[in-house]
Amino acid sequence: MVELVVSDMMSKVTDRRAHVLMLQEKEGLRKIIVALGFIEAQAIAFALRKVATDRPLTHDLFGLITAEFGIELQHVFINKIEDGTFHSQLCYRQGNDVRVVDARTSDAIAIALRVSAPIYIDEGLLNRMCIHDERNGAISIPITAADEETLKVAMDNAVKAENYELAMKLKEEIDSRHQPQAANDGNTDENIE
């Protein structure tokens, strides 16, 4: 497991209501991008800025309730990606009892930030999904991390550029998202810009 920290949060250029969260390994340079909706982005921004509210917000309330019952969030573990969406687990301890709860990554991060719990990712997943800094400030990301709309635009651009090999890989990734899960192994390592 590799520990991650929040390195940045920004709005997507194409949709001001959508946001992306950049997580970077604590002791290195690899980064991943997690897509967020407006509500999740606001919850994470409040936690990062330590914004105090008159009444507890949902993620604050969750932390207060678990603390009241002696349940401690040990860590968040980003354990897989399916259809371009990261999945996470909340790992809790109450006395000697350890429980793992499935969670949306955005919720898991919002809770972890409030209770100062570490965020981890599987080493292999980080290697597959990390972004790479490229020329002129552009970045490339694995196609498995991109949303379907981005994949379609990239596929159209690849066809226009007559890069049919990339276009076919992008089409295969899009098609795999519409097949039964058993047929989708998620091991596509190609990058798009």
10, 33, 12: which is closest to 144 by C-alpha? 33
pLDDT digits 0-9 by tens, 15-38: 555 788 889 999 888 888 888 888
User: pLDDT per residue over 54-102, tens digit each?
Assistant: 898 889 899 899 999 999 999 999 999 987 889 999 999 999 999 999 9
**Residue 169 contacts residue 190 (beta carbons within 8 Å):** yes
Identity of residue 184: N
One-letter amino acid of 190: E
Q: 21: helix, coil or strand?
A: strand
Please give the backbone phi and psi of residue 41, each rounded to the nearest 5 degrees, phi first: -60, -40
**Residue 39 token pair:** 């509500």
H or E, element range at 32 = strand 31-36
**Residues 168/152, Cβ–Cβ less than 8 Å:** no
90-to-29, 85, 118, 128, 155 alpha-carbon distances in Å: 25, 16, 10, 22, 36
Q: Tokens 């890989």 correspond to what residue?
A: 169
Q: Which of 141, 180, 151, 184 is nearest to 33 (CA)?
A: 141
The stretch 153-173 carries a mean pLDDT of: 82
Domains of the chain by range and CATH? 2-128 (3.10.690.10), 133-192 (no CATH)
User: Is the pLDDT reported for residue 103 higher than 90?
Assistant: yes
- The distance in angstroms from the start CA to the end CA of the chain is 27
19: which strand partners?
A: 11, 36
